[in-house]
Structure 1
Amino acid sequence: MRLFKRLLPVVFAVLAAAGPARALDIDVTSFKLANGMQVVVIPDHRAPVVTHMVWYKTGAADETEGKAGVAHLLEHLMFKGTTKHPDGEFDRILRANGGNGNAFTTQDYTAYFQKVMKDRLPLVMELEADRMQNLELTDETVLPERSVVLEERRQRTDNEPAGLLNEQMDAAMYAAHPYGKPVIGWMNQVSKLTRQDAMDFYAAHYEPENAILIVAGDVTPEEVKILAERHYGPLVNKRPASERVRAEEPPPNAARRVTMTDPRVSSPSWQRQYLTPAARQMSQREELALSLLAEIVGGGNQSRFHQTLSLDKKLAAYSGAWFDADQLDYGGFGLYASPNPGVSIEQVESGIDAILAEVVAKGVTQEELDRSRNNMIASSVYLLDSQDKLARLFGVALATGQSIDDVLNWDKDLVTVTVEDVNKAARAMLDRRASVTGVLLPEAKSQ
């Protein structure tokens, strides 16, 4: 999930650079059903297939205190059946019709998706609309699936030292906001989740007016509207929409540091994350300036990190930077590196701090800005050649308080970003008081 989150800002910046709707000759259409469900249609007539996604504007950060992991557990349980389609039938029908699909949960949204031939679109709409309001759960289905989630946590987090470090860094970053707890949940809380916990979360958040339908592929807006009104239109909101109220993070006033040692670690690594505003809280130029800053500092072989840490000083085996603002409440600007053999973590960290200090003091150059902007434009050809990527771009934006226009108009803003915009972003965001530094070390061998 973390990798996906970190890739999205680059994808958004690339989208801005290339102007995807124009470059791919696509007119994105959006409308709402009478029950408040938003529908987005992205025509792509290159093949007779469609990607169908339903995004719920709810995720792990919306969980009740003490119920960490229930949003992700419910994602699993959504495949456990309704009266009309009992446990296992959703996947069986999808496979029998040549389709595939899955789901994912983040802090801010949960999404379910299928890819099918165009003539199977009514079928997947019927299946998805059915489980939006008719999910049936029993202890016989919930408890085994809870065990599956616990095992997933063991494999993806507990058995991965880097995953454990990232989890602790998030907990250190957020003193009050729920982003400080993992999407998959804490083991001790997940192990106590019940059928009622899952049903309570389902009833509170899985409503048509809290959902976004995105269809990308060989369709027209008119075709999708007819089908959406037929399958999703009759659904009724069972309770008023609730405002997403989350604890506000207090202003950070001290840099934090997390150090972990683990016998499973073969080589040390270093990372740091700075707290930033979310995309919806910044202007598009500010957001793009931070994306460009990440590219200039650590975006590839021409970046300052690579040129200085790897080539000139031979300190780092690898290094990089990322910017992720595609969350509802807060974003992050991140850095990472691993030292070469014989080089200490402290030497790499000092090298990175020196580069950042120079950027803040002297700024970036026009040449660096132009090169980074061109790199993102060049990458757009590959990133946009996919129905799934297009659907996810708009889904993430809409689920985190952004708009379709924000996505489509970013190309105009990218070309207006100046050196001073990037330098201003660096001065504002590279504040050590708003950062968490993480160090992962091999366990020292006993003599």
Structure 2
Amino acid sequence: MRVLCLAAVLAAPMVAPAFAEMPSGITSFTLDNGMEAVVIEDHRAPVVVQMVWYKIGSADEVAGKTGLAHYLEHLMFKGTEKLEAGELSKTVSANGGMDNAFTSYDFTAYFQRIASDRLPLIMEMESDRMANLRIGEEDWQAERQVVLEERAQRTDSDPAALFAEERSAAQYLNHPYGRPVIGWRDEMMGLTRADALKWYEDYYAPNNAILILAGDVTPERARELAEQYYGAIPAKEGVERAARPQEPTQRAPRRMEMRDPRVPQPQMTRTVVVPERNPGDQKMAAALSVLAELLGGSPQTSVLGQKLVMTGKALYAGAGYEGFAVDPTNFYFSLVPADGETTEAAEAALDQVLADFVAEGPDPAQLERIKTQIRASQIYEQDSAHGRAYQYGQGLATGLSVQDVNDWPDILAEVTAEDVMEAADLVLNNKATVTGWLLPLQPSDTTLDEGLALGDPQISRIPPEAAADTGETVAPTEPAAEATEVTQ
């Protein structure tokens, strides 16, 4: 993660530096107050996207204050001295645009999409709330209830979301990635106006933010407007992320099981902690990305799709890699057994397919096809100004440089079979996994704990006799969330 020195920001010369020219119509610059900016030119339509990404997220919250980053995201729409509550969104909508915001473990972002001649309007409003947020006494309690209701609707009423929380808690025993982005309900209920204001005052600053402008705007005009609206906001000291507690070495596999009567059919998720995309060295991340596509990118043509889905052993089998992160992240497998297939048989079949892949390696033709598909997908993403803005924003917010983001397609194209097998060794020969099963629970099931309501999930330990074979036994007592909570 890159850290900006405030002294260097304040000592920077007042003469505007030359643009840092990048390929594919990308231009980047940094304002004197430390605010990074990326301009993505696309004049095919008179539309522009503005995104402001703050390099602070839920994983940076202090213990006991989970959900604070997401709570402030909501409160950022409550107005300033110039804007009434909700006026920003109403103004964007009245001008034919749309806006939204989202919070993740590592960042919080706000965006608008609007006609390009309205760009000064949205930059004025966004910069205003960066510096002049107002949280009234009548707002903070009402908005806290809104986020509590959001949790009730999106998480507490969804067995799959509750299971994802449990799985994350089992994966990350010490690192804050094991906590939900939206927060634990009991801690959310204790959040206050003072908590939100402190978070805002500590971390919402130009030298902790990234401005992305994508669409019908030139670099010169973007620079002029950025200086006008954001340039006068002073930098702040101490906005850098505090050191996060890191995960200790996992010494054995962990298993968990969750039963819920609302679950229609069994499903399994297995995760392993792997490296994130690192600045200046994305080779392993690229190999992990290609490995995920090879193994489970397509339900029909991937290795798992061909060996499990097409043979009738599974209804779904997939794999994925979450590369954008500040700290080590997840490689995961997902599995839904076919009707009539036991969970034990389905998991054994998955393990056998993965063992065969380690022994045989990737098919050369399939590897080239996957790389071509990834390249085509990258080109297709460049056709969307919003999509490209998201790629640069997410990359810079998690510590990558503009050049790292630009280099990514070429690094993916250079992945070899040997690179894939190195990544496979890291993932498939790694015993430090977390395997979780989400299972149905019938009303007549005698394993239902006394006092547990029919709609409540049941979290189970691995039986002692099974623990001897699987290693660590983990019975998470708290839920944990997936990587991103989207709101507004």
The equivalent residue for 2:462 is none
Q: Give SS of 1:240's match.
A: coil
Q: CA deviation at 1:381?
A: 4.6
Which residue pairs with 1:38 in the alignment? 36
Post-superposition shift, 1:111? 0.4
Query: Quick one: which of 271, 276, 279 aligns to 2:277?
Result: 279
- TM-score scaled by length of structure 1: 0.92
Letter in 2 for 1:190: M
Letter in 1 for 2:271: Q
Conserved in 2, the CA contact under 8 Å of 1:279 and 1:326?
A: yes
Q: CA deviation at 1:130?
A: 0.6
| Deviation of the 1:365 alpha carbon | 2.4
**Change over 3 Å in CA distance of 1:282–1:45 after alignment to 2:** closer
Aligned partners of 1:172, 1:196: CA distance in 2, in Å? 32
Once the two structures are TM-superposed, the CA of residue 445 in structure 1 deviates from its matched residue by 4.1
State the partner residue of 1:422: 420
The one-letter code of the counterpart of 1:422 is V
2:137 is aligned to 139
Are 1:317 and 2:300 an aligned pair?
A: no
Correspondence for 2:392? 394
Secondary structure of 2:38 counterpart? strand
Q: Tell me if 1:153 matches 2:151.
A: yes
One-letter amino acid of the counterpart of residue 88, structure 1: G
Q: Which amino acid aligns with 1:67?
A: K
Deviations 1:112-164 (A, max 9, x none): 00001111111111101110011111231011111110010011111110100
State how far apart, in whole Å, the 2-side matches of 1:30 and 1:420 are.
35
Q: Deviations over 1:217-270 (max 9, x none)?
A: 001100000000000000012433334310111111121112111011111111
Shift of 1:276: 0.6
2:183 aligned counterpart, secondary structure: coil
Q: Give the SS at the match of 1:409.
A: helix
| 1:411 to 2:409 alignment | yes
1:130 aligns with 2:128: yes
Structure 1 residue ranges without an equivalent (≥5): 1-20
Asked whether the equivalents of residues 52 and 214 of structure 1 are also in contact (C-alpha less than 8 Å), the reply is yes
Task: Please tell me the residue identity of whatever aligns with 2:122.
Answer: V
Contact 1:289 1:425 in 2 (8 A): yes
Deviates more, 1:387-396 or 1:26-35: 26-35
Alignment of 1:302 onto 2:301: yes
- Counterpart among 61, 64, 67 of residue 69 in structure 1: 67
Post-superposition shift, 1:385? 2.1
Contact 2:274 2:427 (C-alpha < 8 Å) held by counterparts: yes
Q: Percent identity?
A: 48
Contact 2:378 2:409 in 1 (8 A): no
Match of 1:364 among 356, 362, 365: 362
Which amino acid is 1:97 matched to? N
CA shift, 1:215, in A, is 0.1
Superposition deviation, residue 363 in structure 1: 1.9
More helix by share: 1
- Tell me, in whole angstroms, the C-alpha distance in 2 between the residues paired with 1:382 and 1:125: 28
Q: Which amino acid aligns with 1:170?
A: S
Match of 1:16 in 2: none
Mapped contact 1:279–1:331 kept (Cα < 8 A): no
Give the SS at the match of 1:433.
Answer: coil
* 1:442 counterpart letter in structure 2: P
CA distance in 1, matches of 2:270, 2:328: 16
Per-residue displacement from partner, 1:267-308 (whole Å, max 9, x unpaired)? 111111111111117832211111111111111111111111
Aligned to 2:476: none
Distance 1:427 1:281 in 2: 23
Match of 1:52, SS?
Answer: strand
Deviates more, 1:297-306 or 1:353-362: 353-362
How many residues get paired? 423
Q: Structure 2: which amino acid aligns with 1:266?
A: P
- What does the per-residue CA deviation read over 1:186-227, in whole Å, with 9 as the maximum and x for residues that have no partner? 000001100001011111110110000000000110000000
What corresponds to 1:5 in structure 2? none
**Shift of the alpha carbon at 1:377?**
2.4
Cα separation, partners in 2 of 1:158 and 1:431, compared to 1, 3 Å: farther
SS at the partner of 2:437?
A: strand
**d(CA) in 1 for partners of 2:322 and 2:117?**
37
Match of 2:219 in 1: 221
- How far apart, in 1, do the equivalents of 2:328 and 2:347 lie? 25
Q: Residues of 1 paired with 2:156 and 2:73: CA distance?
A: 21
- Distance in 2, matches of 1:325 and 1:55, equals 18
Whether 1:199 and 2:187 are equivalent positions in the alignment is no
Q: Which residue of 1 aligns with 2:474?
A: none
Give the deviation of 1:92 after TM superposition.
Answer: 1.8
Q: Please state whether the residue corresponding to 1:385 is helix, strand or coil.
A: coil
Residue number in structure 2 paired with 1:212? 210
The question of 1:383 aligning with 2:381 is answered yes
- Contact 2:279–2:401 at 8 Å: present in 1 too? no
- AA partner of residue 330 (structure 2): G
CA RMSD of aligned residues (A): 1.5
Equivalent residues of 1:129, 1:232 under 8 A apart:
yes
Q: Which moved more, 1:100-109 or 1:428-437?
A: 428-437
CA distance in 1, matches of 2:177, 2:429: 20
1:311 aligned partner, one-letter code: M
- Indicate conservation of the 8 Å contact 2:275/2:285, yes or no: no
Tell me which residue corresponds to 2:233: 235
**In structure 2, C-alpha distance between the alignment counterparts of 1:162 and 1:286, rounded to whole Å:** 30
State the distance in 1 between where 2:435 and 2:373 align: 28
- Which moves more between the two structures, 225-234 or 94-103? 94-103
Aligned partner of 2:58 in structure 1 is 60
Q: Which moved more, 1:374-383 or 1:223-232?
A: 374-383
The Cα offsets for residues 171-190 of structure 1, whole Å up to 9 and x where unpaired, read as 11111111110000000000
- Provide the TM-score with structure 2 as the length reference: 0.84
